[in-house]
């Protein structure tokens, strides 16, 4: 009788143990599935860029993620006029994300190319209704005539000049991003987007009201100070952090508005991946009592003024 009881207890014990093992296996499988979906959603391998960045010094992070070169550059296709000077129908808020004007957030080490491309993608969609992801890599490899040096710090306006001189730019699919400058490949440039950029303008310096007029009509490529710790670790809300006006990073303004707390802000599309900020975007305070705006955002802004489709 005792042997039978021991046998039943033993069987129940192993049944319970097996159940735990199976439950754990199912749970771990679910975690793996969720993780793999995360990889797909973020379009990157989990050798993890985030994990890698945790171990970077701040200087290493800045070198890897910024690259705007401030300087007195002379460009060939830049108009000195301001086409929105008399524009007065400025809405209280606008968000180009909600109008289908923007391609998904990307992750880069060459901010100037991504800033310029996002502005171009935006105006093309607004004018033609076509949302096309364009090639940043083509700019890195081929836009060298105006002082561009791959990811090592350049001007967005030189990118505009190159596209105008080249009479177009190809798609991201046709000339995919490689995270570094490579040799310009003429064969990859053959299938250009059937839209020609004819000119661009700069926004009057240190003028947030002029900048507002442009953003009400299209995304704008801007430079700002993006090397501070507050900026690096921004994770949501309206950014009011500590920063100066040393222009070290390039982003794209894609909207503006006012928070529930009454803070005016710009909506900025960054290129540090979806895990940064608000799904890759930032709201940064607008109308601050500071020349150049917060982080110098109104000091160096440019936008496409003429396209032919």
* Residue-wise pLDDT tens digits, 49-90: 444 444 455 445 444 445 444 444 444 445 568 999 999 999
Between 210 and 51, the higher pLDDT residue: 210
Tell me how far apart the alpha carbons of residues 301 and 265 are, in angstroms, rounded to a whole number: 16
In sequence order, what are the residues at sequence separation of 6 or more whose Cβ sits closer than 8 angstroms to the Cβ of residue 146? 73, 75, 155, 157, 158, 161, 162
Instruction: Name which of 290, 155, 289, 266 is nearest 215 in CA terms.
Output: 266
pLDDT of residue 47: 37
Beta-ladder partners of 79: 201
Give φ, ψ of 99 to 5 degrees: -105, 10
- Known catalytic residue at 270: yes
249 belongs to the catalytic site: yes
Cβ–Cβ under 8 Å, residues 269 and 280: yes
Averaged pLDDT, 123-129: 96
Asked if residue 48 has pLDDT above 50, the reply is no
Rg (CA), the chain: 24
Type and span of the H or E element at 199: strand 196-202
| Length of the chain (residues) | 309
- The pLDDT score that the predictor gives to residue 240 is 97
Rounded CA-CA distance 10/12 in Å is: 5
Please tell me the predicted confidence (pLDDT) of residue 173: 94
Q: Would the pLDDT of 292 be above 60?
A: yes
Q: 156: pLDDT confidence band, cut at 50, 70 and 90?
A: confident
pLDDT confidence bin for 134, thresholds 50/70/90 = very high
pLDDT at 106: 86
Residue tagged active-site, from 110, 142, 245, 249: 249
Q: pLDDT (tens digit, 9 = 90+) per residue, 215-269?
A: 999 999 999 998 888 999 999 999 999 899 999 899 999 999 999 999 999 999 9
pLDDT of residue 11: 44
Which tokens is 24 given?
Answer: 């754990």
Active-site position among 111, 142, 243, 295: 111
Helices and strands (H and E) in the chain: how many: 8, 9
Q: What is the pLDDT of residue 203?
A: 97
Residue 151 is among the residues annotated as catalytic for this protein: no
Residue 113 and residue 119: Cα distance in Å, rounded? 10
223 closest CA partner among 281, 268, 167, 176: 268
Assigned architecture for domain 67-308: Alpha-Beta Complex (3.90)
**b/e per residue 208-226 (b: at least 16 CB within 10 A):** bebbbbbbbbbbbbbbbbb
Report the SS3 class of residue 214.
helix
Return the pLDDT at 181. 83
């Amino acid at each position: 009788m005792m042997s039978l009881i021991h046998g039943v207890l033993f069987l129940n014990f192993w049944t319970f143990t097996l159940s735990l093992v199976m439950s754990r296996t199912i749970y771990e499988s679910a975690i793996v599935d969720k993780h793999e979906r995360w990889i797909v959603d973020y379009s990157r391998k989990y050798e993890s860029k985030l994990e890698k960045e945790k171990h970077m010094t701040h200087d290493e992070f800045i070198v890897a993620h910024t690259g705007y070169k401030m300087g007195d550059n002379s460009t060939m296709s830049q108009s000195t006029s301001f086409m929105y000077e008399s524009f007065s129908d400025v809405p209280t808020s606008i968000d180009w994300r909600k109008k289908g004007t923007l391609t998904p957030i990307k992750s880069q080490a060459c901010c100037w190319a991504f800033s310029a491309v996002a502005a171009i993608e935006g105006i093309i969609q607004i004018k033609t209704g076509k949302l096309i992801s364009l090639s940043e890599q083509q700019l890195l490899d081929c836009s060298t005539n105006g002082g561009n040096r791959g990811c090592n710090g350049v001007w967005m306006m030189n990118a505009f000049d190159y596209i105008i001189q080249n009479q177009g730019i190809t798609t991201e699919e046709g000339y995919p991003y490689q995270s570094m400058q490579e040799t310009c490949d003429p064969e990859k440039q053959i299938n250009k987007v059937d839209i020609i950029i004819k000119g661009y303008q700069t926004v009057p310096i240190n003028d947030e009201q002029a900048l507002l007029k442009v953003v009400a009509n299209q995304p704008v490529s801007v430079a700002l100070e993006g090397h501070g710790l507050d900026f690096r670790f921004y994770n949501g809300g309206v950014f009011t952090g500590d920063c100066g006006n040393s222009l070290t990073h390039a982003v794209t303004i894609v909207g503006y508005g006012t928070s529930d707390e009454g803070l005016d802000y710009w909506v900025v599309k960054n290129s540090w991946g979806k895990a940064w900020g608000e799904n890759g975007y930032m709201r940064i305070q607008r109308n601050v009592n500071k020349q150049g705006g917060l982080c110098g955002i109104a000091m160096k802004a440019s936008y496409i003024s003429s396209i032919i489709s």
